[in-house]
C-alpha cells in the first residue's frame, strides 16, 4: 500500500509539473502574440497623431483607467474561452494606441529613436533576467503579493495626484518607483505560474503583459528626462 501511495504521489507531482510548464509555455506564446496588436496600435496612433483628452490630463487618466479595467474584467470573466484571448488582443491594441502618445513625445527628441530602442532593450533585459530567476528559484515568492499591491496603490494615487499638479520631479519619482515595482511584479507573476499559483495562461499573460508595458513606459520616461536631446 505504501508503494502505491508513493507511485500516486510521484505521478501527481509529475502531472502538476507538466501543467505548470504548459501554462508557462502558453503564457510566453500568447505574450509574444500580444506584442503584434500593441505595435499595430502604436503605429496607428502615431499615424493619426492620436491624443487622448490631452487638454484634460485628470479626465484622460480616469477614463483610461476605466477602459483598461473594463477590458481586464472582461478578460478575466472569459479567460477560459476564445473570447478571453480575443479581448486580450483587443486590449493590447488599445494599450498600443495609448502608447503612441509617449512615443510621439520621444520622437520629438533628436535621439528619440535610440531612446525608444534603449527602453525596449532595457525592458527585454529586465524581463528575461527576472523571468529566468523566477523560473529556476525553489522559493515561493507569493508572500511578496501584499507588499507589491500596496506599492501599486501608492503609484496609482501618486499618478492621479500628479495628473492634477503636473510636477516634473514627482513624475520622475513615480517612473523610478514603477520600474522597480513592475520589475518585482515580473518576478512575482512568473514565479506564481511556476509554483502552480496561476493555472490560466490568459490571466497569466494579462498580468505579465501589464508588468512589461509599465516597465517600458517608465524606463522611456526616465531616459527622456535624463538623456533626451533637443534639436
- 87-135 confidence digits (pLDDT tens): 999 999 999 999 999 999 999 999 989 999 999 999 999 999 999 999 8
Location of C-alpha cell 520629438: 108
Cell 517612473: give the residue: 175
Measure Cα distances from 159 to 58, 179, 181 in Å. Answer: 10, 14, 14
Average pLDDT over residues 192-220: 94
Give me the chain's average pLDDT, please.
89
pLDDT tens per residue, range 14-66: 666 787 888 899 999 999 999 999 999 999 999 988 876 666 778 888 899 99
Supply the pTM of this predicted model: 0.90
What angle do helix axes 57-77 and 201-227 make, rounded to 10 degrees?
160
Number of domains in the chain: 1
Q: 223 or 21, which is more confident?
A: 223
pLDDT above 70 (res 9): no
Q: Which residue range is the domain that position 181 belongs to?
A: 2-227
Amino acid at each position: 500500500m505504501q508503494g502505491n501511495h508513493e507511485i500516486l504521489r510521484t505521478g501527481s507531482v509529475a502531472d502538476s509539473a507538466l501543467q505548470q510548464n504548459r501554462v508557462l509555455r502558453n503564457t510566453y506564446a500568447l505574450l509574444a502574440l500580444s506584442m503584434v496588436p500593441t505595435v499595430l496600435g502604436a503605429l496607428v496612433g502615431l499615424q493619426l497623431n492620436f491624443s487622448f483628452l490631452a487638454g484634460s490630463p485628470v479626465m484622460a487618466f480616469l477614463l483610461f483607467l476605466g477602459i483598461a479595467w473594463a477590458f481586464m474584467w472582461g478578460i478575466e470573466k472569459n479567460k477560459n474561452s476564445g473570447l478571453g484571448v480575443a479581448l486580450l488582443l483587443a486590449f493590447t491594441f488599445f494599450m498600443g494606441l495609448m502608447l503612441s502618445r509617449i512615443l510621439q513625445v520621444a520622437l520629438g527628441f533628436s535621439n528619440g529613436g535610440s531612446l525608444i530602442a534603449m527602453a525596449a532593450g532595457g525592458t527585454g533585459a529586465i524581463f528575461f533576467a527576472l523571468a529566468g530567476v523566477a523560473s529556476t528559484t525553489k522559493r515561493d515568492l507569493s508572500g511578496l503579493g501584499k507588499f507589491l499591491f500596496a506599492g501599486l496603490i501608492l503609484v496609482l494615487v501618486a499618478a492621479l495626484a500628479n495628473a492634477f499638479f503636473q510636477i516634473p520631479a514627482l513624475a520622475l519619482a513615480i517612473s523610478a518607483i514603477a520600474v522597480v515595482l513592475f520589475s518585482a511584479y515580473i518576478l512575482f507573476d512568473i514565479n506564481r505560474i511556476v509554483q502552480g499559483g496561476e493555472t490560466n495562461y490568459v490571466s497569466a499573460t494579462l498580468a505579465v503583459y501589464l508588468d512589461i508595458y509599465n516597465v517600458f513606459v517608465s524606463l522611456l520616461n526616465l531616459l527622456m528626462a535624463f538623456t533626451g536631446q533637443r534639436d
